[in-house]
Structure 1
Amino acid sequence: MSSHLSYPAKIPACLPYNPNIPTPFGYRPSLPAGVVFMVLFAGLSAAHIWHAWRRKSLWIGLAFSLGAFGEFGGWLARTVAYRCPYSIQMLEMQLALLTMAPAFTTAGIYGILGLMIPIIGQDKSPLSPKLYLTIFMTVDFFSLLLQAVGGGLAGAAFSKNMSPWPGTYTIVAGIIWQLASTCVFATLLEYVIFRGRNRILQNPALRLTSLATMIAVTCMVARGVYRSMELMNGWRGYLFTHEAYAIVLDAGLMFIASLVFVIWHPAILIPQAKEYVSRRPLAQEVLELRQSGK
């Protein structure tokens, strides 16, 4: 495997595409895919902003809208790259945004678990809601820092047509760190849901919130595995130079992870779950009185 990129340096960014001249992407980015995902993620971003304003859910709404907007920006860069397929700047922009945007979505998911725990019961969780945010947000911050530093190093290497591996390994370290953090969080989430399964199953709104969260976390873990393998395989590796994988295993999975929280939005479901819990004692008392014949 070559240790550096093998396309001509100083080639005009918007030179008409020539299949005989390799692009930084390894292909010409798809215009239809770029437009479709731009529209989809713009719609998700607007939906999350609307929910944040309508339901006064600032933290979760901001996190999800920033995650969707980052995906929109990444696919905007890939759409522009259809017209300018030799642009290093578009490669760097889409790489930075699509690598870091999921961290905002995970931040929103941390907040959801924090809202679920008081309803399920603090005794069902090994950590307090505040600790989840503190620990995993700190890990995500350092993960983003590593990815940003790695992106800067790789970008400088691209511009000089030098080996991008030092920056690549730094990005991979950040992604793997983030992936490991997400896997640990997923394990804790499953533990909390398993221990509180009886209360969750009895509460329709809590059941939907748990389902949406599990779907989103599963998508994000799968996407993290793909991204790690893609970059470890190299900038001229099979995964990086075949766009179908980015469309399905990055954009597709992130779209699902964001969409489930538009369909089953926690700012709507969590209050309903709390209301169900508050009504439950009275309903149980009425049922017991009816069963006793009083």
Structure 2
Amino acid sequence: MSFNNTTVFPAVQETAYGYVPTFGVAVTYLTLFGFSTLLHAGQAAYFGMWWLLPTVCLCGIGELVGWSGRLWSSFSPALSDPYMMQITTTIIAPTPLIAANFILLGRVIRRLGAPYSRLTPKSYTAIFLTCDIIALFVQGGGGGIAASSKSISAQNLGGNIMLGGIIFQFIALCVYVACGVDFLRNYISFTPVRPMISANERGTLDSRVKIMLGAIGFSTLVLFIRSIYRMVELADGWTGKIITTEVYFNVFDAAMVTLAMFTMNFAHPGLLLRSPEDQDAEDLQEEKLPKGSWAPMV
């Protein structure tokens, strides 16, 4: 039998994937997502940035559920439950991670100078987080329809709803990038777009903020690539060439999300977005302590 002009073995004919998920790949991504998620949880607790739990960590948990389904499918490729489990969770999981990028850029804007942004940091975060939540519910609703339906027409409907959610999220991501670029251009050119009360409203673009901006930019880029892949994949249909080719999913979905998560592990906002006042307070505390003594970090 042939599938998309390729020879398909009997075990593959029985699976909705169009292939049997590779055991080693599933174990690799489970390890990577597990390590990054645990590290993010520890970093969130250490720096007191609890908002990272329902964003980056939630993304990692979703990916772990999805890749557990793919690992299950590597043993039982004919079962429909692990297939629908992985297709639904891996589509939805990066949504909270995108929300983390929205929050981080809002914090950078607050740090460098809100007058250079056309939106206030507060409204910036609220608007894009609302878009992200809408996209999450739309994708989740479509995934639920596809996973609970036995008929092809209902599964196609669920897939189209998920596609609509991803397209909406992609548009929000594009607007987010445009707003971010506009802010940086205004900041670099010393062109505030809203009244400045005092010169103190302009922050310093130091090395730590530059690294944070680079991390946000890279994370957004790989998530952008992943969104394009998912749109093309779902538009191609459940039996299309793209969704039935394993390497495309491994590279353009899983690898992109992995890179985004580890980027935030290494370029962590707890290290890069601390205010100079916080750093000065820590340095002063260390100076007052006798050598070898200990005190908790503020």
Q: Retained in 1: the 8 A contact 2:62–2:90?
A: yes
Q: 1:20 to 1:53 in 2, by over 3 A?
A: closer
User: How far apart, CA to CA, are the structure 2 residues paired with 1:229 and 1:106?
Assistant: 19
Spell out the pairing of 1:197-212 with structure 2 (5 A cutoff): 197=188, 202-212=205-215
Aligned positions of 1:28-43 closer than 5 A: 28-43=20-35
8 Å CA contact 1:147–1:171 kept in 2: the answer is yes
SS in 2 for 1:134: helix
Secondary structure at the aligned position of 2:14 is classed as coil
SS at match of 1:244: helix
One-letter amino acid of the structure 2 residue matched with residue 95 of structure 1: I
Report the TM-score when normalising by structure 1: 0.83
Offset, 1:86: 1.4
The answer for unaligned runs of 5 or more in structure 2 is 1-8, 190-201, 282-298
Equivalent of 2:51 in 59, 69, 73? 59
Counterpart residue number, 1:258? 261
Cα distance in 1 between the residues matched to 2:280 and 2:230: 41
Aligned to 1:173: 164
**Residue 196 of structure 2 aligns with which residue?**
none
* 1:215-258 CA-partner distances (Å, limit 9, x unpaired): 00111111001000001001111110001000000001111111
**Could you tell me how far apart the structure 2 residues matched to 1:128 and 1:219 are?**
26
User: Contact 2:88–2:147 (CA<8 Å) still a contact in 1?
Assistant: no
For residue 201 of structure 1, report the CA deviation from its aligned partner.
8.2
Q: 1:83 to 1:20 in 2, by over 3 A?
A: closer
2:161 corresponds to which letter in structure 1? Answer: T
1:82-120 C-alpha deviation (Å, 9 max, x unpaired): 011112111111112111111110111111112111221
Alpha-carbon contact 1:78-1:91 (below 8 Å) kept: yes
2:107 to 105, 108, 115: 115
- Is 1:85 the counterpart of 2:77? The answer is yes
In the superposition, relative to structure 1, how do residues 275 and 137 fare at CA in structure 2: closer, same or farther (>3 Å)? same
Match in the other structure for 1:149? 141
Aligned to 1:7: none
When residues 134 and 21 of structure 1 are mapped into structure 2, their CA distance, relative to the original with a 3 A threshold, is same
Cα distance in structure 2, aligned partners of 1:61 and 1:163: 34
2:221 paired with 1:218:
yes
Q: Aligned residue for 1:192? A: 183
* More moved, 50-59 vs 69-78: 69-78
What's the TM-score once normalised by structure 2's chain length? Answer: 0.82
| One-letter amino acid matched to 1:26 | G
Partners in 1 of 2:209 and 2:277 — Cα distance? Answer: 9
**Residues 110-134 of structure 1 deviation map (CA, whole Å, 9 limit, x = unaligned):** 1111211122101111111111221
* Structure 1 pair 202–114 and aligned structure 2 pair: CA distance change class (3 A): closer
Give SS of 1:262's match: helix
Matched, 1:103 2:95: yes
Q: Return the offset for 1:205.
A: 0.4
Percent of residue pairs identical = 26
Q: Distance in 1 between matches of 2:10 and 2:27?
A: 22
Structure 1 unaligned regions, length at least 5: 1-16, 279-294
The separation in 1 between residues aligned to 2:166 and 2:93, in whole angstroms, is: 12
How many angstroms does 1:24 deviate by?
0.9
Contact 1:34 1:75 in 2 (8 A): yes
**Which residue of 40, 44, 47 maps to 1:48?**
40
- CA RMSD between the two structures: 2.2
Q: Distance in 2 between matches of 1:162 and 1:76?
A: 27
1:229 — aligned with what? 232
Q: CA deviation at 1:196?
A: 2.6
Q: Which amino acid aligns with 2:117?
A: S
